[in-house]
Structure 1
Amino acid sequence: MKWIIMVLVFSFSNVYAEDCSQQDFDKADMALDSLASWKAVDGFYSRHSQCDVGYLREGTSEKIIRLLVDRWGELNELSALIKRKPALGDYVIDHIGEILD
Structure 2
Amino acid sequence: MQTSMRTDDVNGLHRRAFRSRTGTFVVLALLWAPSCVLASSQRAAVCTRAMAMKAMTEADSLRTWRAVYASYERYRSCDDGAIAEGYSASIATLLADHWATLGELARLIQDDAHFEAFVLSHVDETIILEQGIAIKDHATRQCPKGSKTFCAKLKRRLTP
Per the normalisation by structure 1, the TM-score is 0.75
Per the alignment, residue 51 of structure 2 pairs with: 24
Structure 2, gaps ≥5 residues long: 1-38, 127-157
Deviation of 1:20 (Å): 1.1
How many aligned residue pairs are there? 86
Per the alignment, residue 64 of structure 1 pairs with: 91
| CA offsets 1:30-89 (integer angstroms, 9 cap, x no match) | 222541000011101100110011111111101100110111011011000111111110
Per the alignment, residue 113 of structure 2 pairs with: 86
Contact 2:61/2:90, CA 8 A, preserved across alignment: no
- Distance in 2 (alpha carbons) for counterparts of 1:65 and 1:39: 15
For 2:69, which of 42, 50, 53 is the aligned residue? Answer: 42
Deviation of 1:29 (Å): 1.5
* Identity percentage of aligned residues: 36
Q: Which has the higher helix share?
A: 1
Structure exhibiting the larger radius of gyration computed from Cα positions: 2
Structure 1, gaps ≥5 residues long: 1-11
| RMSD (Å), alpha carbons | 2.2
Bigger relative CO (Cα 8 Å, ≥ 6 apart): 1
- Distance in 2 (alpha carbons) for counterparts of 1:54 and 1:81: 25
- Distance in 2 (alpha carbons) for counterparts of 1:59 and 1:30: 9
Per the normalisation by structure 2, the TM-score is 0.49
